[in-house]
Structure 1
Amino acid sequence: MTVWIILAVYVILMAVTGFISFKKADTLTGFVVGSRSAGPWFSAFGFGTTYFSAVIFIGYAGRSGFDFGLFAILIGIGNAVLGSWLAWKVLANRTREVTRRLKIKTMPQFFEKRYFSRSMKLYAAIMIFIFMTPYSASVYSGLSYLCETVLHVPYQIAMAAIAVVAGLYLVLGGYFATLLADFIQGIIMLVGVAAMLFFVSESGQVGGLAAGVSGVWESMTAQADVLFTPQTALSVICLILLTSVGSWGMPQMVHKFYGIKNEDGVKKGTVISTVFALIIAGGAYYIGSLSRLFFTEVPTLGGKANYDLIIPQILTQTLPVVLLGVVLVLVVSASVSTLSGITLTSCSTISMDLVADRVPKFAESKAKTLTLTRVLCAVFILASYLIASFKTPILTLMSFSWGTISGAFLAPYLLGLYWKGMNRAGAWCGMIAGPVVSLGLAIVSGFNSAQATIFGVTAMAVSFVACFVGSLIAGKMGKVQDNTHFYDKAYFVK
């Protein structure tokens, strides 16, 4: 009963958030980028909660901790330093300034304005729609074992709760509602992780922080022939690069920079976001590393090893019932915030870059485009729920979606922000080469999800090389573009 009460309070709180934000989302700009007036705390928490979904707590943390021991904590540190601090340092202010000045609301619009190509905008919009759908469905996956085996809450009910909550506040309040909800959900996540760290560390199996670290290190040295090898180092490095630097090319992450109010917000947001990521990611991977003190082998389900059972079973053994309810809300919060970020990014892209760009009645009326965006948000959330519920083949793409999207967008976006020599030909080379490599390797491997991380990092690297080579060749052929409008702040529009 306690768990249900906690969950009900959370649902009501998120619904109220949507209603409060409704009046601030009565224009297309207000709905999509919050009128570009977000402060540092809201922006930073929005970035962090969109970054970390339930998968980090249930999937990545358990598997990485059991496989790599204390080395898994390096992934969390990488997420904080590379995925948060450096991302804000390199991308936030430049993105904020350019998107505000050129009135850009989506990543496909960024590519159109930077490279003078409507075809590129269409291509980017289609890529986002195709690969964000399975990615959004995967957001639900972190709930199944926690809900059913730990809290005895049916998986379908928890999934429905996510869909309803995300749909309520997102459809009503848009970007501003996601910021307000993400701030609340960020606080829940911090409290939940703090509780998990304390009770797991103080459990009989661990015996405190120092004893826990010492015990895990002993288990690692006993497997030195497996853990202290080049293969382990490569696996950890690839995980750090894909989950940290790879996030720089994810549309829903970059979108959080569009609405920041001013440069001061960027400076403060950088610090807040980094600390948030260090606590959430560092804490999750630390708890995952302690799994070696609870299990001598991976728990099984149906006779097969299942890494997703590791964290739920640890929590069952260490947390009081009330805190298990808080952890459930933590996981739901992480899922809802990520899902809402993906949904808003995907649906605004579809409505503005696909439909309004080609259908006159939407192009002429921002009110109709706003209504369409709201409808698409509801449809997208429902579609993600159905895909996750019925385990459709589309879910096969989930493991490769992050690497494919980053492979397509990271290099053209980052180089486009800073390198004046980057041109349309180079961008096309990178946008095509990255996904081809990611999906090509996936097909050759038989869609082996265990290799998805390496494939994603390879796709990102190939995309950068393709962008450089393509731009240099096109430049030598005399195909030079005038990018003054993009880099010159004299074009700033207040």
Structure 2
Amino acid sequence: MSEHSWFLIAIVIYMSAMVAIGWWSYRQTSKYDEYMLGGRGLSPTVAALSAGASDMSGWLLMGLPGALFVTGFSELWIAIGLLIGCWVNWKIVAPRLRAYTEVAHNSITVPSFFENRVHDTSRLLRIVSAVVILVFFTFYVSSGIVSGGRYFESTFGGDYLTGMLIVAVITVGYTFVGGFLAVSYTDAVQGLIMFASLIAVPAMALVALDNPSDIFSWASSHEYGPYPDGNPTYFSMISGVSLAAIIGNLAWGLGYFGQPHIVVRFMAMRKPSDAVPGRRIGVFWMLLCVLGAVFTALIGTVFFSQNPDIAVTDRENFETVFLDMGRILFHPLIAGLVLTAVLAAIMSTISSQLLVTSSALIEDLYMIVVKRQPRQKNLIWLSRGAVLAVAIIGVLLAINPSDSILGLVGFAWAGFGSAFGPIMLASLYWKRLNAAGALAGMVTGAVVSFAWGMSPLADSMYEMVPGFALATVAMVLVSLITKAPDAHTADLFDQAVRLSREKGDLTEQMLDHNFTSVPNKKTT
């Protein structure tokens, strides 16, 4: 049996499992809020693994190893920033957001939470939030589909367009049918696949080397990849790297606070106290996965150099290092199962983004325009239609990719981090935040990040830094010079903070304290 046949069997096994989970989720989903948020019943393990898998995407197994392979240890600043940001996000955002979104009129999307948090009756904040999601997730979804196309190019030597269409169709299929539960449980399984593969591939490659200790010196003085004479600064985290570049890479960690597809997992947990075990599981998973990606690149510099009869498929960005090593090291069936880790990372992120974008279109735009509450079944089918529409746009943009996977992800990550990050933190920790300040900060962050990222300035400083900083300044200044929140909104803040610190069922606690949420008749 040919290698491709074994790979095909592995892919069919994986795809069948994803479709089965999607069908099971479909059977569990009958209400609109279940389709969008899973009935707020995620366990800490599922929440942590699904958040991690939807976070990491194809860049963990393709973008990051490729960047480390080409540039060296200076790219580690991104990984360090992300690890810190992930821990802080689980620590300070998860418990309060879980409590606040339920007490603030049971908000099931990030835009609706922002609106209910500051009691914005104009609906502008919610509309702008939804537009930001649509704009930046377009790039994010596109990056995932690009990863899918390159995956099939490397694995099967096949056509890029065919590969990206297969990934898009299967991902849209289970997201379309099963909604949030399908996305969360498939993400959890995909997270386990990514974890196992990122441990197995570098471990096997290290064993295959003639002298494993070469990995700590080879790249700086021997020919490998794009360097005929080696890369003398490969093992330095600061040589040839400006302070602005280091700050920019560390700033990736700031993006966590504003990523809708990640924080929505916090909103869907059973109770705020689940954030503690969720943090431990999620950060530990991420640490080991990042270490696996680092060692994949590090070992790869020796592995491909000492085997002149093999080469990295992607000779431009070297983003197929992990794929090529897995294909070479294992029996075709095992290799196929290992390589599904990349497919898992790609599909987990695309599905999460599609669902959040769908919610922005239906919950935060359509519902405002129609000004009435459609039937539950109609809402679910409208959301499914939105999933399909966004996927089609993402495919069209991915047909001719003009940037690396890491570049596309970085642009979208900065956009959400700048637009939503400061508002999220202020919503949870600053009682004085008002609607005008939130809107000013969001618009400033989105515009600065987008404009900076599209200009030559992005070469000297990652757009997250100016975007996040200026958004924070605008948010604080406008909040202070405009009217303070009313007493009821301030009381809501105090109640949410207190409830986030308590254990047990949140609904029962709200009833015990005779608590009612913000009365906003316009909020759906």
Q: TM-score, normalised by structure 1?
A: 0.87
Name the amino acid aligned to 1:276: W
Q: How far did 1:373 drift?
A: 0.7
Q: How far did 1:203 drift?
A: 2.9
**Does the alignment pair 1:366 with 2:376?**
yes
Correspondence for 1:228: 238
What SS does structure 1 have at the residue aligned with 2:433?
Answer: coil
Measured against aligned partners, the alpha-carbon deviations of 1:116-162 in whole angstroms (never above 9, x if no partner) come to 22111011111111221121011122244443234324333332232
**Does the alignment pair 1:188 with 2:193?**
yes
Correspondence for 2:18: 14
**Does the alignment pair 1:339 with 2:350?**
yes
Give the whole-Å Cα distance in 1 for the aligned partners of 2:185 and 2:237: 42
Correspondence for 1:28: 32
Contact 1:53–1:139 (CA<8 Å) still a contact in 2? Answer: yes
Contact 2:433–2:485 (CA<8 Å) still a contact in 1? Answer: no
Q: Please give the residue correspondences for 1:203-218 in structure 2 after superposition, counting only pairs within 5 Å.
A: 203-204=208-209, 207-208=211-212, 210-215=213-218
With over 3 angstroms needed to count, the CA separation of the structure-2 counterparts of 1:383 and 1:305, relative to structure 1, is closer
Correspondence for 2:112: 109
Question: 1:467 pairs with 445, 470, 475, which one?
Answer: 475
**Does the alignment pair 1:402 with 2:405?**
no
**Does the alignment pair 1:378 with 2:381?**
no
Give the whole-Å Cα distance in 2 for the aligned partners of 1:442 and 1:78: 19
Question: 2:318 pairs with 307, 311, 319, which one?
Answer: 307
**Does the alignment pair 1:356 with 2:363?**
no
Give the whole-Å Cα distance in 2 for the aligned partners of 1:92 and 1:31: 21
With over 3 angstroms needed to count, the CA separation of the structure-2 counterparts of 1:48 and 1:227, relative to structure 1, is closer
**Does the alignment pair 1:173 with 2:178?**
yes
Give the whole-Å Cα distance in 1 for the aligned partners of 2:446 and 2:303: 40
Name the amino acid aligned to 1:471: S
Correspondence for 2:54: 50
Correspondence for 2:225: none
Measured against aligned partners, the alpha-carbon deviations of 1:305-333 in whole angstroms (never above 9, x if no partner) come to 43335444444554543343123311111
**Does the alignment pair 1:123 with 2:128?**
yes
Question: 2:445 pairs with 428, 431, 434, which one?
Answer: 434
Contact 1:300–1:306 (CA<8 Å) still a contact in 2? Answer: no
Measured against aligned partners, the alpha-carbon deviations of 1:250-303 in whole angstroms (never above 9, x if no partner) come to 11111111110023422111111011111212211232234443578xx9999x
Q: Which range moved further: 410-419 or 139-148?
A: 139-148
Correspondence for 1:197: 202
Q: Which range moved further: 123-132 or 257-266?
A: 257-266
Give the whole-Å Cα distance in 2 for the aligned partners of 1:285 and 1:225: 12
Give the whole-Å Cα distance in 2 for the aligned partners of 1:403 and 1:416: 19
Q: How far did 1:187 drift?
A: 1.6
Give the whole-Å Cα distance in 2 for the aligned partners of 1:225 and 1:128: 38
Give the whole-Å Cα distance in 1 for the aligned partners of 2:277 and 2:88: 14
With over 3 angstroms needed to count, the CA separation of the structure-2 counterparts of 1:227 and 1:280, relative to structure 1, is closer
Question: 2:79 pairs with 76, 81, 86, which one?
Answer: 76
Q: How far did 1:364 drift?
A: 4.2
- RMSD of aligned Cα (Å): 3.0
With over 3 angstroms needed to count, the CA separation of the structure-2 counterparts of 1:87 and 1:366, relative to structure 1, is same
Q: How far did 1:176 drift?
A: 1.1
Name the amino acid aligned to 1:231: V
Give the whole-Å Cα distance in 2 for the aligned partners of 1:237 and 1:294: 32
Instruction: Answer 1 or 2: which has greater helix percent.
Output: 1
Q: How far did 1:45 drift?
A: 0.8
Runs of 4 or more consecutive aligned structure 1 residues displaced over 6 Å after TM superposition: 217-221, 299-302, 395-398
With over 3 angstroms needed to count, the CA separation of the structure-2 counterparts of 1:294 and 1:237, relative to structure 1, is farther
Contact 1:62–1:291 (CA<8 Å) still a contact in 2? Answer: no
With over 3 angstroms needed to count, the CA separation of the structure-2 counterparts of 1:223 and 1:444, relative to structure 1, is closer
With over 3 angstroms needed to count, the CA separation of the structure-2 counterparts of 1:258 and 1:480, relative to structure 1, is closer
Give the whole-Å Cα distance in 2 for the aligned partners of 1:491 and 1:434: 38
Contact 1:423–1:481 (CA<8 Å) still a contact in 2? Answer: no
Contact 1:54–1:334 (CA<8 Å) still a contact in 2? Answer: yes
Name the amino acid aligned to 1:468: V
Give the whole-Å Cα distance in 1 for the aligned partners of 2:154 and 2:40: 43
With over 3 angstroms needed to count, the CA separation of the structure-2 counterparts of 1:294 and 1:466, relative to structure 1, is farther
Segments of 5+ residues of structure 1 without an aligned counterpart are none
Q: How far did 1:74 drift?
A: 4.9
What SS does structure 2 have at the residue aligned with 1:222?
Answer: coil
Give the whole-Å Cα distance in 1 for the aligned partners of 2:425 and 2:168: 33
Q: Which range moved further: 268-277 or 179-188?
A: 179-188
Give the whole-Å Cα distance in 2 for the aligned partners of 1:83 and 1:101: 26
Contact 2:95–2:273 (CA<8 Å) still a contact in 1? Answer: no
Name the amino acid aligned to 1:275: F
